[in-house]
Amino acid sequence: MFEVLVYLYENYWRPDACPDHDQLTRKLSAVGFETDEIQEALVWLDGLAENAQAYAADQSSDSLRVYSTAEIDRLGEDSIGFVSFLESAGVLPPAMREMVIDRATAVGECPLALEDLKVIVLMVFWSLGEEPDALILDELFVAPEERLIH
């Protein structure tokens, strides 16, 4: 599923630039994605679209997030740490954080791989028509061992 999401991010600049589900399914199949993977991604994207609508209504600036045991098990320590890092850096407001957590818990993997969480964060920005700043893109795409220290 994550390969489909990355493909959509790279090929469609915003969600509304994507064709309808039937046409998108045909395009993704033609590129070589499996039907099950495509359907899983489309269902996941529908949930993301619902969250994006709710995001517009909830722009609260302060909140404290306490993770349930089930969320900790599902997300894993690395993913929760990364979400906390993005929050403390001021790039992931509470409503977006909740979108990330919702979409991360919608994935069947347990615990969620950090690389998959990074794709989810990227897709949340994409769904809202927002471009993360360059430093955040670096965090999302560049492996720590490949970073150059100046």
Q: What pLDDT digit, counting tens, does each position of 21-34 carry?
A: 999 999 999 999 99
Give the integer Cα–Cα distance in Å for 52 and 57. Answer: 9
Report pLDDT for 53: 81
Exposure class string for 29-53: b at 16+ Cβ within 10 A, else e: eeeebeeeebebbbebbeebeebbe
Question: pTM value?
Answer: 0.85
| Spans of all domains in the chain | 2-146
Report pLDDT for 108: 80
pLDDT at 49 over 70: yes
Report pLDDT for 55: 74
Residue 113 vs residues 13, 95, 116: alpha-carbon distances, Å: 25, 22, 5
